[in-house]
């Protein structure tokens, strides 16, 4: 069985500050991990993915995430927040290669950016 | 590549009516997924297809829910005898089996049952 826990349902940062959104996962098989962003009344956009290659993954819009197996974590970071980063962010896990590939999502973290 | 499209974007229906949603995946994608998202929650997996075969449907919420992908292209999700608890965003996603399972999502259909 797989699950995802996102710590903090709401994170607020100032423009230009570091963004850190936390995600811990549980998986009985080597996982594939994803971060998605959702703007109001829209679908989800893929930010980045980890599929067992490099542990530090770079994504779009300056985001990156590091896979830490020992900590079962996949936290999302961005060095400098921009107003346009305000959205809801979802961490997701799948069972990886050979599986049916469905995603298990966390409950999401809403990011606010203050001017 | 025009992305995943869903129709309609919004649907308001009365309790007890049937509704059908359509999803058009990215054209070369062989997998298609349906998810439901309620307020304040992440998307919840419902079912998926590989080409025209529905390979997992045990997560469909009740026997009122059904999905089809008749020619391995677009898909429909039908809810019969809608209930107020069915009010949610219904999301469709598509992927290639060999792409690392990254899924591309459509804009969703927001269902309101009155």
List, as one string, the DSSP characters of B6-75: EE-SEEEE-TT--EEEEEE--TT--EEEEEEE-TTS--EEEEEEETTEEEE-TTSSSTTEEEE-TTSS-E
Is B55 in contact with A100 (Cβ distance < 8 A)? Answer: yes
Nearest chain A residue to B34, by CA = A102
Distance CA B72, CA A4 (A): 31
Of B42, B95, B101, Cβ closest to residue A105: B42
Q: Is A36 on the interface with B (CB under 8 A)?
A: yes
Is B100 in contact with A32 (Cβ distance < 8 A)? Answer: yes
Of A27-36, A86-95, B53-62, B102-111, the least confident: B53-62
A51-106 pLDDT, tens digit each: 877 889 999 999 999 999 999 999 999 999 999 999 999 999 987 655 677 899 99
Q: What is the mean pLDDT of chain B?
A: 92
Q: What is the mean pLDDT of chain A?
A: 92
Of A41, A42, A106, Cβ closest to residue B42: A106
Give the number of A-B residue pairs with CB atoms closer than 8 Å.
66
B7-35 pLDDT, tens digit each: 999 999 999 999 999 999 999 899 999 99
Using DSSP bridges, classify how beta strands A87-94 and A109-114 pair: parallel, antiparallel or unpaired: antiparallel
Is B31 in contact with A106 (Cβ distance < 8 A)? Answer: no
pLDDT at B40 over 90: no
Q: Is A102 on the interface with B (CB under 8 A)?
A: yes
């Amino acid at each position: 069985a797989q699950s995802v826990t996102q710590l903090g349902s709401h994170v607020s940062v100032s423009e230009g500050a570091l963004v850190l959104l936390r995600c811990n996962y549980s998986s009985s098989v080597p996982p594939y991990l994803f971060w998605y962003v959702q703007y109001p009344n829209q679908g989800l956009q893929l930010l980045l993915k980890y599929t067992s290659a490099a542990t530090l993954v770079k994504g779009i819009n300056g985001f990156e995430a590091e896979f830490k197996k020992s900590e079962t974590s996949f936290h999302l970071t961005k060095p400098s927040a921009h107003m346009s980063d305000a959205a809801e962010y979802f961490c997701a896990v799948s069972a990886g290669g050979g599986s049916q590939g469905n995603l298990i999502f966390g409950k999401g973290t809403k990011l606010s950016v203050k001017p | 590549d025009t992305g995943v499209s869903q129709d309609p974007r919004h649907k308001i229906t009365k309790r007890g009516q049937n509704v059908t949603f359509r999803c058009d995946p990215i054209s070369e994608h062989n997998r298609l997924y349906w998810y439901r998202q309620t307020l304040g929650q992440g998307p919840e997996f419902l079912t998926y297809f590989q080409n025209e075969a529905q390979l997992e449907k045990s997560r469909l919420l009740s026997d009122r829910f059904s999905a089809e992908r008749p020619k391995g292209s677009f898909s429909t999700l039908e809810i019969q005898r809608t209930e107020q608890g069915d009010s949610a965003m219904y999301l469709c996603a598509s992927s290639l089996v060999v792409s690392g399972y990254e899924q591309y999502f459509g804009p969703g259909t927001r269902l309101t049952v009155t």
